[in-house]
Chains A and B, each alone.
Chain A
């Protein structure tokens, strides 16, 4: 992945074939963070907010459905290889993203990253990078790392673009 520069308010990136595959892999994992795992309140009388808790879960579920539709469209229209591309020698692609698209991708990649962390039992920083956990749950750990890489890249691009 490489940040090329700004085009107006948009960010111009180059994705190598492997980056594109990784983005598609991550986008197709979404959603990972279960809506039912989100807690509205920690107070002892949280029962009094039961209706609001249910509304939170419904809202997040609805948002996830909308994002899944957007992901399908994004993968189909923005990450598809050029029609003349030889599948045996794929080429890097140029991708121009609006700020809203960058925000949305950050939201989706972060859901994948945090969602797998939740699935792993919310390990602390030390446990999260332990060889034992990586050996036991390689798919989850690798997905988290890929999502972290994609997120860091986009955050870095936003930072450079804002200078």
Chain B
């Protein structure tokens, strides 16, 4: 992911990010790192597509940037497909993968 600035994650806010553990099997929506999309743009798209607050969007953006990917949501095939369509529409590298 291309950097133009260093977003700050407010300490303590990460605990509010919903965990994926313990949910029913379904489809994961995963966003993958690339060297071209700006970090601020990725945050902006996450906010638009998922309606997340900035802190949560930045948390996932930083996860993509630092680990190469971030699991964004676990949901039904239909909803996962919708989210992946939206992320691709905005030029992000996103896929859906079935969970066991």
CB within 8 Å of B: which residues of A? 33, 38-43, 45, 49, 52, 55-56, 59-60, 63, 103, 106-107, 110-111, 113-114, 117, 122-125, 128, 144, 148, 151-152, 155, 158-159
Q: Decide if B36 touches A106 in the complex (CB within 8 Å).
A: no
Q: Decide if B84 touches A56 in the complex (CB within 8 Å).
A: yes
- DSSP majority for the A interface? helix
A151 and B44 CA atoms in complex are apart in Å by 12
Q: Decide if A110 touches B91 in the complex (CB within 8 Å).
A: yes
Q: From residue B33, how far is it (CB to closest CB) to chain A in Å?
A: 11
Q: Decide if B37 touches A41 in the complex (CB within 8 Å).
A: no
Q: Decide if A43 touches B44 in the complex (CB within 8 Å).
A: no
CB within 8 Å of A: which residues of B? 2, 4, 34-38, 40-41, 44, 48, 77, 81, 84-85, 88-91, 95-98
A-B contact number at CB 8 A: 70
Return the contact of A110 from the options B35, B85, B90 (Cβ within 8 A). B90
Q: Decide if B44 touches A152 in the complex (CB within 8 Å).
A: no
Q: Which residue of B lies closest to A128 (CB)?
A: B35
Q: Decide if B88 touches A38 in the complex (CB within 8 Å).
A: yes
Interfacial chain A residues near B90, Cβ < 8 Å = 106-107, 110
Interfacial chain B residues near A151, Cβ < 8 Å = 38, 41
